[in-house]
A and B are shown apart, each in its own frame.
Chain A
């Protein structure tokens, strides 16, 4: 089975711009989660989607948004980029949506640099 894929792998943007990142989960996985990883804060949960519905959201401003499509693919969007948004954005899919013991299968991440 193919793993979680994320596109693009690297992205450079300037402050004030917006960006859309894409994630394709492992086939059959219906839950997709997004995380932001920075050296200072570590891995922080952004949001989780299942069957096109956001079921949980982390403590991030409204500039961060996401959606999930009927084929389970997901996108996240960051508007009005700030320098502090520079990070590795990781997508993870899970075969066991919200039943506990949700092992996450991570993609390689998108490295976003905001100049």
Chain B
């Protein structure tokens, strides 16, 4: 069966360091992979999207990689700040005609001052 795993339920990191979050999947062939941020009591907010034929995508302090051979995406936050503390979700999309996203359970990131 299809499985999406975000390796850590929780990750604590010192302010200023780079946070790296992992998303692995099995029995799935996503055309796109997305990362969302969710704060307590709020809906997820879209951060980045990467296509299956892209290796890396960047946006400000954020970087995402996508390795379809390893079936893995890495999400990096450089120079992390306490305001980056939130739960980060990866989501897979099969592409045209799928009409749904499949989410991982998320990694709760805490950036310690």
**Contact of A56 with B106 at beta-carbon distance under 8 Å, contacts A43-B89, A103-B49, A106-B43 already known:** no
Q: A54 to B79, alpha carbons, bound, how many Å?
A: 43
Choose from B31, B44, B99, B105 the contact partner of A106 (Cβ within 8 Å): B44
Is B112 among interface residues, defined by CB-CB distance under 8 A?
A: no
Residues of A within 8 A of B110 (CB): none
Q: A100 to B32, alpha carbons, bound, how many Å?
A: 7
Q: A108 to B38, alpha carbons, bound, how many Å?
A: 10
Chain B residues touching A, majority SS: loop
- Tally chain A residues at the interface, Cβ within 8 Å: 29
Proximity string of chain B (78-100) to chain A, C-beta cutoff 8 Å, 1 when within and 0 when not? 00000000000101010111111
Apart from A43-B105, A101-B31, A104-B91, 9 more pairs, CB < 8 Å: A42-B103, A42-B105, A43-B44, A56-B98, A101-B49, A102-B99, A103-B34, A103-B46, A106-B36
Q: Which residues of B contact A (CB under 8 A)?
A: 31-32, 34, 36, 41-46, 49, 51, 89, 91, 93, 95-106
